[in-house]
Chains A and B, each alone.
Chain A
Amino acid sequence: MNLTRDRVRSIGWAFLLAVCFALTMVLTFRVNAVKSEVRLAERKIVAIKQEKMFLETEFETRSNQQQLKALNDLEFGYEAPRAAQYIEGERRLAELGKPRGPGAPAPIRVARAAGGGAEAPFLAMVSPLTGQAMAAEARTAHKQADAATLGQYLAHIQKREVGRE
């Protein structure tokens, strides 16, 4: 084997070409792999978007205006607020938090109806995953709050309303 200079050079070139070709191939495969990943991701996005639209439509159907009206008629009986229940502008709102001026009459304090106790009348917010009360509520003593407490609260409202009438 006598390797002349020219021969070595041409083998070198061939080797370089082979390396470049191999690298190109690797790169091409990589690109194609990424492309197909993108395609898969797109397909997944489409599927999820369709699923989302399906769920959204289901929510809208279950909470459509007629359902809400039926629920309101049956459960809550809310009515449109009256004019006196509105506050006009920020000034009126700010007035409610104003400190008492000198010589102003003392604000009327309304006693709380007994029976409700110190506990908040509403149910504690419960995590849907663990079934435990949320951290903020857990610290307070709301653990006992359950349907019975809500029932008591509703009974109070009723009593109060009967009293008012």
Chain B
Amino acid sequence: MTAISISTRVSTGRRKLVNIRQRSLLTAKWRGLWVLACFAAITVCALLRIVYLGFFGPAPRGMDMANALLPDRGEIVDRNGVPLARALSAYALWYNPNALGGGSPLVKSPAEVAAGLAKVFPDMDPAELADRLATGQPGYLRRRILPEEANRIHALGEPALEFPRETERYYPQGSMGAHVLGFVSSDGHGRVGMEQVYDKRLTDPATRSRPAQLSIDARVQGALEDELGRGMALSNAKGAAGIILDVDTGEVLALASLPAFDPNLIDQAGTTNIFNRVTNQVYELGSTFKPITVAAALDAGTVTDLSRRYPSSRPLSIGGFQIRDSHSLGESLNVPEALIHSSNIVTAQIADELGGQRLKATMQSLGMNERPFVELPARGFPLWPRGDWARITTMTVSYGHGIAVTPLHLASAYAALVNGGIWRPATLEKLAPGQAPAGRRVFKASTSARMRQLLRMIVAYGTGKKADAPGFRVGGKTGSAEKPGAGGYRRSSLVATFAAAFPMDRPRYVVIAMLDEPQGTPATSYQRTAAWNTAPVVARVVPRIGPLLGIMPDETRDIDITDLRPLIPGEASE
């Protein structure tokens, strides 16, 4: 009985146990199923998501690459696509004292770090640097460093020395064309030159991918700067200016104002040389105005006979003012002789016959009474005699005194003088063929043809002899004007200008070279006038730029001046 009862108890216990086992197995199975279901749900979700992304997900945008390659500021290139200014991402050296998260900003002592930095940058002062590091003020240690320098600083093992990549404006050609380009200031906006003019266009994401093309030719610009710099050094001049202009379109191929500045180093170099002598400074340009006066007289018909002789032996006295020549040029001169020898007396008489009104009208239509036409923001206003011109004003203006204009004014006027008589505004933007502005007629085509002959004669036989580049048929006029100072003109400081055009048989380019206060040196035979310092500059520039611009020298070719040669018997017989 006991046994049975025991067995019963046992069997009941077993049954219970089996029950419990089954139940827990079931629970386990259910739980396993739940886990499986969870996993399945997650897998399905993941698969659905992948499918969704595969079908509807954002496709890799085609704009990505274009965006990544879009410069922060558009490039500026010359007329042949040579980059003159571009955005370049460069490393800067930044001191971040909080890089280590509190405590001492540096791992080593400031003196050690400063010594390490001074090894990388020998121009930095270790003592000053150590002081700066010790103060714990964040700031730039250097604005621009090279990648290899960044590597060497990285090797110093200081987390506080960071080199963030920053976009910099970079000018590969250094100071070349600096006055045309200008620079970008630390606020990211262009200053002075075309950087300022194109500021909107260069920063607008829609337009900055396409480089802004200037009319400048980098090779021509380089040649002009070289030769002007050489002329400036040889004559000990204070400054120099030069411009090369396409006579048919008004495009500026080169524009140089020396001494120049380096737009890459604008923070350090200061702003002393930023002033543009070509477009901003006005000068009395002297005898270079004589051809304009003669052209106006030919155009108006007051000079019909070039062989007519004007008295030139005695200074002209007008209202207590005397007009004289630099030296006596003989009893009388005809028009070609007056230009060849640059006679103030004869030019004043021609202007007197022409009359102030007509001379003024010509000067006005050459744009001499307003700021020069060019895109650059800094443009000087001419000193222009207002009202009706008195007789003496007319006479002095005829040889370039009492009127002060920029060299750019003169370049545009000479272009009109030789291109058939059409004045066009100068431009620094490259013009497509046929896009040249219509301009306005200032001289008759016949006058222009006559002026080409006369200008060529000045170089072939007159004061411009030293500008004659063989084979290039250069024509032009010298001008040496005394600078006005306190109480009249200063005899000792001159502005020497040479205004030229070439080739005279079919003029293509105007070249203006100007030296500010040249001195008499052995290189200029102790002379200070344009014939000795700026004319040789033109003679050296033209053979360098001519072939680059498609003008081949040819000594068998020249403008026909046979009809005028008998008028200058002495010189032409040489």
Contact = CB atoms under 8 A, between A and B. Distances in A.
Nearest to B71: A53
A69 B65 CA distance: 39
Contacts of A81: 543, 547
Contacts of B472: 83
Contacts of B68: 43, 46
B173 interface: yes
A86 B553 contact: yes
Interface string B289-326: 00000000000000000000000000000000000000
Contacts of A36: 60
Interface string B73-103: 0000000001100101100000000000000
A88 B64 contact: no
Nearest to A56: B83
A65 B222 contact: yes
Interface in A92-136: none
Contact of A57 (B54, B88, B543): B88
Most chain B CB inside 10 Å of its own CB: which residue of A29, A42, A50, A80: A80
Given A31-B54, A35-B59, A35-B60, A83 B65 contact: no
A54 interface: yes
Interface string B539-574: 010011001000011110000000000000000000
B20 interface: no
A38 interface: yes
A39 B259 CA distance: 50
Interface residues of B, number: 40
A57 B170 contact: yes
Interface string B412-423: 000000000000
Contact of A86 (B174, B175, B552): B552
A152 interface: no
A66 interface: yes
B554 A60 contact: no
A32 B53 contact: yes
Interface in A32-86: 32, 35-36, 38-39, 42-43, 45-46, 49-50, 53-54, 57, 60-61, 64-66, 69, 80-84, 86
B544 A80 contact: yes
Given A28-B50, A69-B226, A81-B543, A88 B552 contact: yes
A42 B65 contact: yes
A83 B554 contact: yes
B50 A64 contact: no
Contact of A29 (B54, B172, B173, B553): B54
Most chain A CB inside 10 Å of its own CB: which residue of B53, B176, B547, B553: B553
Size category of the A interface is 20 to 34
Nearest to A85: B553
Contacts of A88: 552, 554
A88 B553 CA distance: 9
Given A28-B50, A38-B60, A65-B222, A86 B554 contact: yes
Contacts of A29: 50, 54
Nearest to B172: A60
A18 interface: no
Contacts of B470: 82-83
Given A39-B60, A60-B83, A83-B470, A49 B69 contact: yes
B520 interface: no
A83 B172 contact: no
A141 interface: no
B218 interface: yes
A129 to B, nearest CB: 24
B222 to A, nearest CB: 4
Interface in B106-131: none
Contacts of B471: 82-83, 86
A54 B228 CA distance: 32
Given A25-B51, A81-B543, A83-B470, A61 B553 contact: no
A69 B218 CA distance: 13
A153 B561 CA distance: 48
Most chain A CB inside 10 Å of its own CB: which residue of B50, B68, B555: B68
B543 A42 contact: no
B234 to A, nearest CB: 14
Interface in B216-245: 218-219, 221-222, 225-226
The 3 A-B residue pairs with the shortest CB-CB distance in the complex, in nearest-first order: A83-B471, A28-B54, A65-B222
21 contacts: A25-B50, A25-B54, A28-B50, A32-B54, A35-B60, A38-B60, A39-B60, A43-B68, A53-B86, A60-B82, A64-B174, A64-B176, A65-B218, A65-B222, A66-B175, A81-B547, A82-B471, A83-B554, A83-B555, A84-B555, A88-B552
